[in-house]
Structure 1
Amino acid sequence: MRLRNKPWAKDFMAQHPDVLILDEERPKVDWQQEFGNEHPIHIEVGTGKGQFIIGMALANPEINYIGIELFDNVIVSALEKVIEMDKPKNLRLLRANGANLTELFQEGQVDRVYLNFSDPWPKTRHAKRRLTHESFLQRYETVLRKNGEIHFKTDNRKLFEYSLTSMSAYKMKLQFVSLDLHADMPEDNIMTEYEEKFSAKGMPIYRLEAQFCE
């Protein structure tokens, strides 16, 4: 996907350090101090334009949410939405590379990881870039608390099948698997921008929940 250049993005982002944190400025933030409480922390790796993470934060004020996104031209759209929602106190955006999770969070600091409509990287030689590759699972396990969870949604069946295999090989416990999430829509499901787009076209949405085991 080609990203539209937004030359004003950096200046706009710099004006809202209470919401958006730049990785190079504040590595390994003390998140309990940042939020001012000890509530559970849920992160979304690849938060895009922020619809999902904002919806989750508004629906669950007792949980702290962090949306992680690498590209300025994308995360600035999420920032605009957060501002429109009067900056929920339990939500932060983090401009960072999800591959650097162990540099951004302390061990056992996170309670849940969300992966929504990640780039499928369909070519075999690019498998290590998939966010459900073993190398990424190792990073999630490091930053997650004991028995932490991954919740994953995608429209890409091959990526979903790959992810099921990868997590099973990693000895994770598959707690929930759906091959058509919207066929029996859970009441608490918060849709992403992509999810709305694909489901409107009649495409199935695949979802799983998996837990790391000792």
Structure 2
Amino acid sequence: MNVLCNAFDLCFLDGLYTCRFRSGHTNLSNTTTQCEHFEIRANKDCPNGFFSRSRGICKNMTVLSNLAIDKPATQSTTYRDYNATNAVDGNRGTNVGVDKCAYTDHGDSNPWWRVDLQAVYNITSVRILNRGIDQYGGRYVSHWLHDVTVTVGLTESDVNTPCGYFDGPGTASQLVVIDCLTSPQGRFVKISKTTDFLTLCEVDVFGVPV
């Protein structure tokens, strides 16, 4: 059975599956991770429904939800009507012409996109759904997703705490998973790059309340 993690380093299926910690594993910054079977081990220090992690902290086994969905978003520039909110509208289509992904304007040499989560969280993971094949030749421009930096901040004017980096290049309809291994605290999540064009078909943000 293939079960995918959608948050930091763990997911559960009837208490039988979990994902390994992503830290220390190679080539996981741009891929999803299969859940792996594990043996349930009771811990007398944790109540039912919780499990023990490193440093003796009890954690709830609930799978985290996407914090970015339908939240206010903005970007450095906008190409035509491909505005920032298109990346948090829940539409997981990757045909730019049909599904209206977020898309910065041509000539923007330092494009960025930012979402306001409207509350402070410890951010654990950010997922980017890249553009796919479309009538405009998406199969040839999906590689534009490269050298992407994800940062977190408490205010919209200071979103500079590192979460992670994707060097790319992206492939058509690729789901890029960027883990924030230090779980930075913030209300705003920013995706930026230092070359032309930033196209994001959907962005998912996962974290836990502060």
TM, length-normalised to structure 1: 0.25
Q: Which one has a larger percent helix, Structure 1 or Structure 2?
A: 1
Q: Which one has a larger percent strand, Structure 1 or Structure 2?
A: 2
TM, length-normalised to structure 2: 0.26
- Greater Rg, structure 1 or structure 2? 2
